[in-house]
Amino acid sequence: MISLSDFNHEHAQHGIAVSVRDLGLTYTTSIEKKPTLKARFKSLGRGKRHTRIVPALTDVNIDVHYGAVLGIIGSNGAGKSTLMRVISGIIPPSQGRVEVYGSVSTLLALGVGFNPSMTGRDNVYLGGLAAGMSREEIDNHFDAIADFSELGEAIDAPMRTYSSGMFARLAFSVAAVVEPDILIIDEALSTGDAKFKEKSLNRIKELRSADRALILVSHALATIEDICNEVIWLNKGKLMMRGNPPEVINAYREFVNARKSASSDEDV
Amino acid sequence: MDKPVVIYEPFRAGLPPMREYFASLWSRRAFISEFSRSGLRQQNYGSIFGQLWLILNPLLLSAVYFLLIYVIGGSSDATRFGHLTATLFLFYLIANSLTGGVKAITSGERLILNTSFPRIMLPISATVIALFKFLPTVVVFSVIHLLIGLPFSWQMLWAVPILFIAVVMALGMSILISCINVYFRDISSILPYLTRSLLYLSPILYEASNISESIKKFEILNPLFYLLDSWSRVVVHAEAPTMNGLIHASLWALGLLFIGAYFFLSRERDFAVRL
């Protein structure tokens, strides 16, 4: 893991940012929701299996270049979030190889590391440190974060008193102020009210630059079409298509509609 | 330029590259301290009465034993009272580290699923919290020590290395149990019985010298036995600890830390999919 400051931000234009080769991922998870010692004892000697293997990604190959804004679409359970977790080093792959050339900041879920009993101000530090920033970096960015969140004096109130919109606004602001080489955003755009949504979308547009790569996971196809210059479509852990946004999005829409009408024809 | 910065490949069973791991852990030290602070805050230790409780709780505990020994027992044995409070306070350091550590990973699910960081930070911060709760008890015990007129000597400086051994042991236990709890979630329900048994099997309610040699042989299996005995010798009796006692405690502490850390580090990459 590398701290953000170790990096020089000069990347050759269109140099490679993330390279995913023959990526395969299978989970071993317990069959029961919560594995317990009791269950293990009860099934002793019965030869019962406690774990099952779930294939999550199969043979995925992607290159993301600097300057690209890559959108990832697909239905629920397609493996989008899993792929993001592999790229950010949270889950190790079971096959293949992922190479990441630059500092990565992930925005997979909002407010990770926040503690509701502390004030917004304390949580900016906590969340920032959780995201891998140093205390000095947070000091330097604090005013920008507070301004962006539009919380005003509420920043010094405990976070348990925040509305869910305020919570999300602060969480997005902490994440948006980081300026990494590679930014991975998973469904984080749907925060706050319409005005803040637009503001966060604009912030993401601002972050697009030749020396940065953005990867965006979303179900909001219009947004994807608006900001991305390349889209990949995942289905059941497999890469279905990659190409320019309108083409891939149309193919995906047709696929979803075909499935919908097929299922509506079935006898129930 | 443009040389691979981070490469993720399938991992073989075993430890991650240790140098990188510890460098990354070290770079996250500010997060460990902030995370521990927020953990304490969540348990209300951020407020004035919460902090007062850190002092009140050990005071009340020792008041109960004062009642038991001086009032009900009718004895005026200052050493026994001193022994009880001193060992009980150190015992709580270990017990709090275990209870904090057991859910360190399972309750950090959101953090683990969405951020990449050395997971061992979470049980470490459980031990840091336990240590913060322990420090006020040192003050309380020092006052008790003065009030009941226990002896002083230079040998009491042994308290520093013994406390260090205790922290290493607490850390090892916290790391080990946090990892076990990922695979067997009911360990957290069994834990209170485990700590209660440890409490009775350790020389807290009695002194190590009071039990028969035949039973003492088995106490080699209790990681806390000689640790607490040494602690009592040093801070209550103002004597030097026995070499045997120190070696026993250190071996258990290092053993638990190494086994715990090995278990943890070789499995932590699996945690994200197990939660």
Task: Map residue B11 onto helix, strand or coil.
Answer: coil
Size of interface A-B (CB pairs under 8 A): 140
Tokens of residue B204, six digits: 């807290």
At residue A170, the pLDDT reads 87
- Whether residue B2 lies inside any domain: the answer is no
Q: Which chain A residue has its CA at the smallest distance from B46's CA?
A: A118
With a cut of 80, say whether residue B205 has pLDDT above it.
yes
Task: Give the angle subtended at the CA of A268 by the CAs of A240 and A265, to the nearest 5°.
Answer: 50
CA-closest candidate to residue A115, choices B185, B28, B38, B162: B38
Indicate if the alpha-carbon torsion angle A213, A101, A65, A78 is positive or negative: negative
% of chain B at pLDDT higher than 90:
53
- Whether residue B7 lies inside any domain: the answer is no
Give the start-to-end residue ranges of the domains of chain A. 1-24+56-103+180-268
Please check whether residue A234 is in contact with residue A73, taking contact to mean a CB–CB distance below 8 angstroms.
Answer: yes
At residue B55, the pLDDT reads 80
Among A115, A133, A159, A181, pick the best mutation site for testing chain B contact (most B Cβ within 10 A). A115
At residue A4, the pLDDT reads 36
- Whether residue B114 lies inside any domain: the answer is yes
Answer whether B272 touches A (CB < 8 Å): yes
User: Mean per-residue pLDDT for B196-212?
Assistant: 89
- Whether residue B33 lies inside any domain: the answer is yes
- Whether residue B236 lies inside any domain: the answer is yes
Contacts of A104 (CB under 8 A, 6+ apart): A87, A88, A89, A180, A181, A182, A183, A184, B6
**Reported pTM:** 0.87
User: Mean per-residue pLDDT for B67-75?
Assistant: 81
With a cut of 50, say whether residue B68 has pLDDT above it.
yes
User: Mean per-residue pLDDT for B38-56?
Assistant: 80
- Of A210-219, B13-22, B96-105, B264-273, least confident by mean pLDDT is B13-22
CB contact under 8 A, B7 and A97: yes
Structural domain for B264, as ranges: 18-274
Q: Which DSSP symbol is given to A76?
A: T
Query: Which of residues A118 and B247 earns the better pLDDT score?
Result: B247
At residue A7, the pLDDT reads 40
% of chain B at pLDDT higher than 70:
97
pLDDT grade for B221, boundaries at 50, 70 and 90: very high
Tokens of residue B71, six digits: 């009032």
Phi, psi of A158 (to 5 degrees): -60, 145
Contacts of B123 (CB under 8 A, 6+ apart): B101, B104, B105, B171, B174, B175, B177, B178, B179, B264
Please check whether residue A226 is in contact with residue A81, taking contact to mean a CB–CB distance below 8 angstroms.
Answer: no
With a cut of 50, say whether residue B229 has pLDDT above it.
yes
Phi, psi of B102 (to 5 degrees): -60, -35
Q: Which chain B residue has its CA at the smallest distance from A129's CA?
A: B31
Measured between alpha carbons, how far is B105 from B178 in angstroms, rounded to an integer?
6
Question: What is the count of structural domains for chain B?
Answer: 1
Q: What is the CATH number of domain A1-24+56-103+180-268?
A: 3.40.50.300
- Of A4-13, A106-115, B115-124, B176-185, least confident by mean pLDDT is A4-13
At residue A6, the pLDDT reads 39
- Whether residue B8 lies inside any domain: the answer is no
The position carrying tokens 């080769």 is A21
| DSSP run (H or E) holding A61 | strand A51-65
Answer whether B200 touches A (CB < 8 Å): no
Strands (E), chain B: 6-8
Length of chain A in terms of residues written? 268
The complex's ipTM? 0.80
Instruction: Please give, rounded to a whole number of angstroms, the shortest distance from the CA of B182 to a CA of chain A.
Output: 8
Q: Of the ranges A51-60, A245-254, B41-50, B171-180, which is most confident?
A: B171-180
Q: What is the largest CA-CA distance in chain A?
A: 63
pLDDT tens, chain A, 268 aa long: 333 333 444 454 458 889 999 999 888 777 777 788 888 777 777 766 677 788 889 999 999 999 899 999 988 888 888 899 899 888 888 889 999 988 888 777 777 778 888 889 988 998 888 887 888 989 998 999 999 888 889 999 988 898 888 888 888 888 777 778 888 888 766 666 778 888 888 888 888 888 889 999 988 888 888 889 899 999 988 999 999 999 999 999 999 888 777 666 555 4
CB contact under 8 A, B113 and A109: yes
Q: Of the ranges A133-142, A159-168, B51-60, B158-167, which is most confident?
A: B158-167
Name the residue facing B27 among A3, A103, A122 (closest C-beta): A3
pLDDT grade for B255, boundaries at 50, 70 and 90: very high
- Whether residue B204 lies inside any domain: the answer is yes
pLDDT grade for B179, boundaries at 50, 70 and 90: very high
How far is residue A119 from each of residues A116, A127, B49, measured CA to CA in Å? 7, 12, 18
The pLDDT mean for chain B works out to 89
How far is residue B189 from each of residues A209, B43, B102, B242, measured CA to CA in Å? 52, 20, 10, 36
CB contact under 8 A, A29 and B273: yes
